[in-house]
Amino acid sequence: MIPTQSQGPGPEAQYRAFLDEGRFMIQRSASTGQHVFYPRVAAPGTGAMDLEWVEASGLGTIYSITVNRGRDSSFNIALVQLDEGPRLMTRIEGVETAPIGTRVKARITELEGEKVIVFDLAEKGGAA
């Protein structure tokens, strides 16, 4: 586990550095066990400042999804609940949409010159 508090870069810069290394890391409070995403200096609700970096499982469930359609293309915007608890806004790659509750798996890709987390269906054909 890697402590969040340091004399170096802030939580967002640390998160992006992990992505650049090919690692999907999230924060967890050492005292409460609560996982936190998006990176921050204190846990929401409790204000705990003992956040440390831990490897995310990369697994989650589609909590909500919508499709943004244009004349030339369409893409989805999804809210995924990680198995660790936090939710994050992302895309589900390879499909236009998928049912709420579908199991997904994270991967790191590059979008507009930055490393980002996207998700793929955990199993072809729906929920795992």
DSSP assignment of 5-19 equals --SSS-HHHHHHHHH
Residue 18 and residue 47: Cα distance in Å, rounded? 24
Residue with tokens 């170096």: 8
Average pLDDT in the chain: 91
Reported confidence tier of residue 7, pLDDT bands at 50, 70, 90: low
Given a cut of 50, whether residue 128 has pLDDT beyond it is no
- Asked whether the beta carbons of 43 and 35 are under 8 A apart, the reply is no
Stated pTM of the model = 0.84
- Asked whether the beta carbons of 82 and 54 are under 8 A apart, the reply is no
Task: Give percent of the chain above pLDDT 70.
Answer: 91
pLDDT value at residue 77: 97
